[in-house]
Structure 1
Amino acid sequence: MKSQFLLDKNITFLNHGSFGACPKPIFEEFQRFQLELEREPVQFIQKKQIGYLKTARESLAKYVGCEAQDLYFTPNPTFAINTIMHSLNLKEDDEILTTNHEYGAMDRTWHFYCKKSGAKYVRQEISLPIISKDQILEEFWKGYSSKTKIIFINQMSSATALLFPVKEICDKAQELGLITIVDGAHIPGHIDLNIQELNPDYYTGTLHKWMLAPKGSSFLYVKKEFQNDLHPLVVSWGYESLFPGESQFLDYHENQGTRDVSVFVCTPSVINFLEKNKWKQKSEECKQIVLDNYQRFCDLLGTNPICPITSEFLGQMASVPLKTNNPQGLKDLLYDKYKIQIPVMPLNGDIYIRYSINAYNSQEDLDVLYSALEDIIKTTNLIEV
């Protein structure tokens, strides 16, 4: 599959999790729509765009397990979460219960809105190593109080690459009458997803990560009873529209003035590529490589796994703890000297090196990483073992 991607062949690319990677056939379809837009922008924007977006939404909705009228495209999950927060009408002393494993941009966004409203962002500690799903649930709900109004949870953590029991959390939150917001950035195309079965109130995910779409393609799902309360982050022609579409929800959030929607409308081609190339099977093969190598890297780095090495907690990427006083220096050295693209990330006082495996990777790529880390341990003081 490596020849199908546009990635630099001189780089060992082990960082699919950050921004994804787009195959050539999908990128060509994306550019085809861009050319169509530029050749006749008025016809595209005023006539064709609505139909293209509807077709793309229908294709995506079927893939992620919801109705096409209940989601719309966004550039990224941060945009989606900002839209939700913008509409929540938080009050002083309201509490948002989350974990200490959330994505940094999400933490910052919640802090911004909490400062404005006086609400409290409760980062409940989920201790490592993870022993079981029950441990996560028990620790998480210790953060609940009578002031809790919202549950915000990532389905897969970015820094630790851990899968969280989101279904169980959503179910209990519904019983308690809480609003549930799920950040599923790493899920579509990676982990089995059926949004209606998961039953969150809000769900955001990316297409440009594990679904292989071009950069800047994500979506926001909103349960029907919350749709009319969601204010557009950008007020434009869809507000009090002269030509109303199938719903106010879609008018407000899809009709955003002049913009290039090519990345969104090539979604049917994205899904077709995945299905044609039996991506679910390839994903399972990649997950097995991740599991097979995790303990090996822990042994090399003198650390312990942060969870049981099973598919219950890990997908196509894994974060291995390591001891370093210079994570950025280590990341730069791995790239500059060894031509390996891989993140080295701090979280809660710990440091992790996170490898991602997709169909363009092989065991050989992880062997390259292993040899590089061996050499760094022997020849520098960047890693303590």
Structure 2
Amino acid sequence: MAADDLALVPNASAGISTVYAALDRRRSGEIVVTDHGYGAVTMGAERLARDRWDGGVRTARVPLDADEEQACEAVFAELSEATDLIVVDQITSATARRLPVERIGAEARRRGIPLLVDGAHAPGLLPAPLSRLTCDFWVGNLHKWGCAPRGTAALVARGPLRERLYPPIDSWGAEDPYPDRFDQQGTVDATCYLAAPTALGFIEHTWGWRRARRYMDHLAGYAAQVIGAAFTELTGADSSVDVGMPVPGMRLVRLPEGLGATRVEADALRDRVARELGVEAAFTSFGGIGYLRVSAHVYNTAADYEYFAETCVPVLAEWARAARGRHGAP
């Protein structure tokens, strides 16, 4: 990646909002997203298409267990002469899977459609997230797997459209070319940006990123196994999840019926677990089913997930029974 392709932004969503603000309607104002997209990003696409482009959003339905070919077919089926923009995740937040952004990028380029890749989870988790990837815009958070201070993300832009990108705050660098104009934004504290190389280097020098990724992937697999087995023992239901194009360091465990079936319910469950059980955990939903999204990093150990299986899973199973009872389900 060339240095002049990269601007630093507070987070992936800020980078995506920057792209949305810069683009004009060229065709019929349609934006193609997937049903795995991050909610705030999809809402931004809907607002752009509706309020500025007088268009709409088409959603590619990608089954959770879809392989690369099936995922491509689902996305390509929504493309047309009306498509002005494609927005797709490199690693999905809610469903912990990859999408074939390399093939989607090649098809987008062939059709002349700008592609925005949401790589929020990619830095650190993937060894080279921009390798072999053709896209107009890419965003990735450095404060997730990269362990940089919170509020550090990368916006990568290639091609002529990048000259339309401006930071959210107009400042004295506004007349500078991209990406220089992003370097000075009023009183924005750049400390987190300056600390990012040290954070990324710490992982490399202490463990090595390749070794760290192997550890994270092995531990996430163990976590899903031990937590899923605990749920199955209590409920009798299979908690395993078949995820197409899985990613290292992240797994899904299916929750018992009655828990987290919608985004609002999943968020409420996250807050309740933190408040009553003192555990920070990620709960998501997809297709009307609730999931525990397990993540692992170098600072985690097997004991973290064994504790969750022994202490939290019985409580969650009881909450699920109570929820089903309130709705008259067994």
User: Structure 2-normalised TM-score?
Assistant: 0.86
Q: Is the 8 A contact 1:92 1:119 kept in 2?
A: no
User: Shift of the alpha carbon at 1:383?
Assistant: 7.0
Q: CA RMSD in A?
A: 2.3
> 1:318 matched to which residue of 2?
251
> 1:212 matched to which residue of 2?
147
Instruction: Report Cα offsets for 1:258-309 as digits up to 9, x if no partner.
Output: 2210100112212221211113202211101222343554452524544358
> 1:86 matched to which residue of 2?
21
Whole-angstrom CA distance in 2 between matches of 1:357 and 1:382: 30
> Which aligned pairs between 1:267-282 and structure 2 lie closer than 5 A?
267-277=196-206, 278-282=208-212
Partner of residue 140 from structure 1, selected from 58, 67, 75: 75
Whole-angstrom CA distance in 1 between matches of 2:38 and 2:202: 29
> 1:120 matched to which residue of 2?
56
Partner of residue 193 from structure 2, selected from 264, 268, 273: 264
Partner of residue 370 from structure 1, selected from 293, 306, 309: 309
User: Shift of the alpha carbon at 1:75?
Assistant: 0.2
> 1:336 matched to which residue of 2?
275
> 1:53 matched to which residue of 2?
none
Counterpart AA for 2:216? C
Distance 1:103 1:382, change over 3 A: farther
Query: Which stretch of the first structure deviates more once superposed, 335-344 or 171-180?
Result: 335-344
Whole-angstrom CA distance in 2 between matches of 1:125 and 1:131: 10
Q: Is the 8 A contact 1:126 1:136 kept in 2?
A: yes
> Which aligned pairs between 1:1-385 and structure 2 lie closer than 5 A?
66-90=1-25, 93-116=28-51, 117-128=53-64, 130-195=65-130, 197-240=132-175, 248-277=177-206, 278-299=208-229, 300-301=231-232, 302-303=237-238, 305-308=240-243, 312-322=245-255, 323-325=257-259, 327-328=266-267, 330-376=269-315, 379-380=318-319, 381-382=321-322
Counterpart AA for 2:180? D
Instruction: Report Cα offsets for 1:82-116 as digits up to 9, x if no partner.
Output: 11111111267321111001111101111221221
User: Shift of the alpha carbon at 1:382?
Assistant: 4.9
Runs of 4+ with >6 A deviation? none
Distance 1:364 1:174, change over 3 A: same
> Which ranges of structure 2 fall in alignment gaps of 5 or more residues?
260-264, 325-329
Whole-angstrom CA distance in 2 between matches of 1:135 and 1:211: 30
Instruction: Report Cα offsets for 1:324-357 as digits up to 9, x if no partner.
Output: 2454554344333432210222334221111111
User: Structure 1-normalised TM-score?
Assistant: 0.74
User: Shift of the alpha carbon at 1:203?
Assistant: 0.5
Distance 1:137 1:268, change over 3 A: same
> Which ranges of structure 1 fall in alignment gaps of 5 or more residues?
1-65
Aligned residues: 311
The higher-RCO structure (CA 8 Å, 6+ apart) is 1
Whole-angstrom CA distance in 1 between matches of 2:322 and 2:297: 28
Identity of aligned residues (%): 25
